[in-house]
């Protein structure tokens, strides 16, 4: 029976990746209608990337379900090299384009934790995640000053420049943006699945510090601007009104003109969809 439960977790992870890329029209992101500010990829790149990750998520699920250690950081240590290998599979499937690097990190952690929870259902999912990631930002950022500037990743550079902990900080804290913003937004959303997920994405955009956005804007002041746009979208009625959708169309154009990406917010939407599927909200 456990194998079936593990397979269901993997299937929900793959569904979450495909649901996210299908939602449209998403500002600053790829969807079936437009690649937005991502000339190097389209919806088919994301489909290829998703299919390349089935084996990775299956390994995460079997690793989580079979972990018998007492120290959960060892469970994260066990899957990290598998995640690195999955990044290589992704890049091979996408011909070198970064579609799901952040999702490999975050969704891999959630799949592993969900599988571990199958045998430890007295624990909440995020308590398992936080126990797995204790000390992550310290571990990853501790000796950054010694790293050659040319080798710094976007997240590492922004930590040094702005003190932004990005996806690592979000993960180590147990994904507060998902638990306090994404999931509540999904639960109160109305209409078609596309409408519900559009409103959930913009709610996330209105509360997250997206390192893709900061990277493209070359400033962390873009974050306050993005939060204001999200607030205006909901003041106009969001996906439920013609005014809200007209504003979203304008926002799509602005993101395209300014070459802004919401890759991090897209990842938080993927994780929210995954949890929504696990909780039968979708």
Q: How far apart are CA 180 and CA 170, in angstroms?
A: 12
Contact flag: residue 21 with ligand ADE (CB under 6 A)? yes
Q: Which stretch binds ligand ADE (CB under 6 A): 1-9, 58-66, 174-182, 260-268?
A: 260-268
Most distant pair of Cα atoms in the chain: their distance: 54
**d(Cα 155, Cα 132) in Å, to the nearest integer?**
20
Query: Could you tell me how far CA 214 lies from the centroid of its own chain?
Result: 16
What CA–CA distance (Å, rounded) separates 197 from 28?
15
102 lies in the site for ligand LTSJ6FE6, by CB under 6 A: yes
CB under 8 Å to 261, separation ≥6 — which residues? 28, 29, 36, 37, 38, 212, 213, 215, 216, 255
Q: Which does 29 bind (CB under 5 to 8 A by kind): ligand LTSJ6FE6, ligand ADE, none?
A: ligand ADE
Residues 19-38 that bind ligand LTSJ6FE6 (CB under 6 A): 38
Task: Dig out the tokens for 194 from the structure.
Answer: 């596309």
Q: Which of ligand LTSJ6FE6, ligand ADE, none sits in contact with 83, Cβ below 5 to 8 A by type? A: ligand LTSJ6FE6
* Footprint on this chain of ligand ADE (rule: CB under 6 A): 20-21, 29-30, 38, 103, 263, 266-267
* Footprint on this chain of ligand LTSJ6FE6 (rule: CB under 6 A): 38, 79-80, 83-84, 87, 98, 100-105, 108, 153-156, 166-168, 170, 208-212, 216, 261, 263-264, 267-268
């Amino acid at each position: 029976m456990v194998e079936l439960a593990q397979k269901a977790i993997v299937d929900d992870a793959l569904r979450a990746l495909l649901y996210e890329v299908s939602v449209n029209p998403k500002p600053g992101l790829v969807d079936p209608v437009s690649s937005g500010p991502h000339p190097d990829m389209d919806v088919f790149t994301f489909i290829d990337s998703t299919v390349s990750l089935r084996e990775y998520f299956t390994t995460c699920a079997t690793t989580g379900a079979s972990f018998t250690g007492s120290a959960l950081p060892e469970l994260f240590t066990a899957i990290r090299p598998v995640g690195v290998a999955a990044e290589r599979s992704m890049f091979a499937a996408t011909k070198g384009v970064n579609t799901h690097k952040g999702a490999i990190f975050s969704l891999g952690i959630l799949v592993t934790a969900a599988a571990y929870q199958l045998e430890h259902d007295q624990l909440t999912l995020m308590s398992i995640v936080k126990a797995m990631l204790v000390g992550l930002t310290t571990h990853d950022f501790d000796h950054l000053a010694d790293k050659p500037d040319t080798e710094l990743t976007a997240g590492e550079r922004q930590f040094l420049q702005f003190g932004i902990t990005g996806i690592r900080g979000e993960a180590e804290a147990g994904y507060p943006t998902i638990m306090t913003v994404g999931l509540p937004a999904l639960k109160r959303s109305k209409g078609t699945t596309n409408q519900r997920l559009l409103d959930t994405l913009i709610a996330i955009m209105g509360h997250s510090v997206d390192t893709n956005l900061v990277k493209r804007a070359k400033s962390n002041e873009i974050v306050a601007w993005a939060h204001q746009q999200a607030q205006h979208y909901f003041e106009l009625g969001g996906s439920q009104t013609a005014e809200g959708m007209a504003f979203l169309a304008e926002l799509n154009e602005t993101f395209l003109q300014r070459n802004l990406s919401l890759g991090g917010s897209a990842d938080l939407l993927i994780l929210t969809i995954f949890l929504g599927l696990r909780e039968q909200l979708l």
